[in-house]
């Protein structure tokens, strides 16, 4: 009597055939640029979906180097170093990429976007070029979906990770260093509908979305070109407004009139006065807090002095009289 073949082997083959494409998609990664320890490439985008409702990226994408520079130079990041940094001061936004870093990554990012597939995104990893043998990196990924550019950040060299107080020296994926992404004025972050919002992963808490054409148009405005460095979108108490040099009327079409220039100047002066008043009020509050702390410290010192027992003087016993 012939024995029947075991059904386990065919089942295992079916499972392997079904899971192999998924595993390949998850582990698929291609390096496009790998020089000076700067790595740029494409990887699978977990926020895409090939099953209904289909969610795919607008890749391959055609952007110029100037477009990428304009988009990324508008992005700024704030955060703190360690556990105590965020308690002592408010984080100040800084450029996501320095000028040297932007010069290195702009062209490779354009190349990676032109090679990415609809289910892929572009990742970047940039070390601190000013410090050797530093483990901290500026790392993240970006992708284009419809009219929007989405960017998520995992790490930044300007902010060190939280001290584990002698624990294991490993990078905790939940340590986001209090990072937050901003768009510098006059650009504005995109307000996404639920249908346009990417399905961010559990460790992708630091992200921002922008409408490409709106940001490029905002960057080309005359006021943006004249202010030099863009002003980050931070609370008014942290802002020091910059009054740009107003353009002079040359009689050409589109040139601002004298009335418009005067109105712009008055508006900037009002913003400057308001920011200075808020800053002065904040400094006054900080001075009061410092005085309160000094009074408490003096009181504690006095209580400590009063609680100490007075040392008794030691005298030699008198010699017995003979």
Summary mean pLDDT of the chain: 77
- The span from the CA of 231 to the CA of 74, in Å, is 9
- Ranges of the chain whose pLDDT falls below 50: 1-2, 15, 18-26, 83, 85, 223-256
Residues 6+ apart with CB under 8 A from 285: none
- 251 occurs within a structural domain: no
Q: How many domains does the chain have?
A: 2
Same structural domain for residues 291 and 223? Answer: no
pLDDT at 161: 65
Cα–Cα distance list, 260 to 188, 225, 254, 256, 269 (Å)? 23, 18, 12, 6, 14
Q: Which of 111, 127, 132, 148 is nearest to 31 (CA)?
A: 111
Same structural domain for residues 53 and 148? Answer: yes
Write phi, then psi, for 280 (nearest 5 degrees).
-65, -40
Write phi, then psi, for 40 (nearest 5 degrees).
-140, 135
Starting at the edge strand found earlier in the chain, the sheet holding 120-127 runs: 29-35, 38-44, 120-127, 137-145, 148-155, 207-211
- Whether the CB-CB separation of 174 and 162 falls below 8 Å is answered with no
Q: State pLDDT tens for residues 266-321.
A: 777 777 777 777 777 777 877 888 888 888 888 888 888 887 665 555 555 666 66
Which of helix, strand or coil describes residue 296? helix
Which residue shows structure tokens 């192999």? 20
Same structural domain for residues 191 and 288? Answer: no
Euclidean distance between the first and the last CA atom of the chain, given in angstroms as a whole number: 129
Same structural domain for residues 213 and 239? Answer: no
- 15 occurs within a structural domain: no
Residues 6+ apart with CB under 8 A from 54: none
Single pTM value for the model: 0.60
Same structural domain for residues 98 and 191? Answer: yes
Same structural domain for residues 128 and 210? Answer: yes
- Whether the CB-CB separation of 158 and 79 falls below 8 Å is answered with yes
**What is the pairing mode between strands 120-127 and 38-44?**
antiparallel
- The span from the CA of 271 to the CA of 26, in Å, is 50
- The span from the CA of 293 to the CA of 316, in Å, is 46
Q: How deeply is 206 buried, as exposed, middle or buried, from its count of CB atoms within 10 A (0-12, 13-18, 19+)?
A: buried
Same structural domain for residues 189 and 241? Answer: no
Write phi, then psi, for 317 (nearest 5 degrees).
-65, 140
Cα–Cα distance list, 107 to 12, 63, 72, 110, 281 (Å)? 46, 10, 12, 5, 46
Q: State pLDDT tens for residues 146-176.
A: 999 999 999 999 887 655 555 555 555 555 6
CA angle, 193 as apex, 188 and 194 as ends, to 5°?
135
Same structural domain for residues 155 and 291? Answer: no
- 322 occurs within a structural domain: no
Domain that holds residue 130: 27-162+173-230
Residues 6+ apart with CB under 8 A from 259: none
pLDDT at 120: 97
- 101 occurs within a structural domain: yes
Same structural domain for residues 95 and 152? Answer: yes
């Amino acid at each position: 009597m012939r024995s029947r073949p075991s059904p386990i082997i065919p089942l295992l083959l079916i499972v392997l055939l079904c899971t192999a494409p998924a595993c390949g998609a998850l582990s698929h990664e291609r390096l496009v640029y790998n020089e000076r320890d700067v790595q740029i490439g494409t990887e699978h985008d977990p926020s895409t979906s090939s099953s209904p409702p289909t969610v795919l990226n607008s890749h391959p994408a055609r952007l110029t180097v100037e477009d990428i520079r304009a988009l990324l130079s508008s992005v700024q990041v704030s955060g703190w170093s360690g556990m105590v940094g965020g308690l002592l001061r408010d984080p100040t936004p800084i450029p996501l990429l320095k000028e040297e870093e932007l010069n290195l990554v702009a062209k490779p990012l354009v190349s990676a976007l032109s090679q990415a597939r609809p289910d892929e995104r572009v990742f970047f990893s940039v070390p601190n070029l000013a410090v050797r043998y530093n483990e901290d990196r500026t790392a993240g990924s970006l992708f284009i979906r419809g009219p929007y550019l989405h960017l998520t950040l995992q790490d930044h060299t300007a902010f060190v990770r939280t001290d584990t107080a002698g624990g294991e020296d490993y990078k905790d994926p939940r340590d986001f260093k209090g990072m937050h992404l901003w768009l510098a004025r006059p650009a504005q972050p995109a307000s996404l509908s639920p249908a346009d919002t990417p399905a961010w992963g559990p460790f992708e808490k630091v992200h921002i979305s922008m409408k490409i054409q709106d940001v490029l148009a905002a960057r080309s405005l005359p006021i943006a070109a004249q202010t030099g460095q863009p002003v980050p979108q931070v609370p008014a108490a942290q802002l020091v407004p910059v009054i740009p040099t107003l353009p002079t009327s040359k009689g050409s079409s589109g040139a601002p009139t004298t009335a418009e220039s005067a109105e712009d100047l008055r508006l900037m002066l009002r913003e400057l006065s308001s920011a200075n008043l808020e800053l002065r009020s904040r400094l006054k509050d900080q001075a009061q807090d410092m005085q309160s702390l000094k009074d408490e410290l003096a009181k504690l010192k006095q209580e400590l002095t009063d609680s100490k027992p007075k040392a008794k003087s030691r005298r030699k016993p008198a010699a017995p009289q003979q």
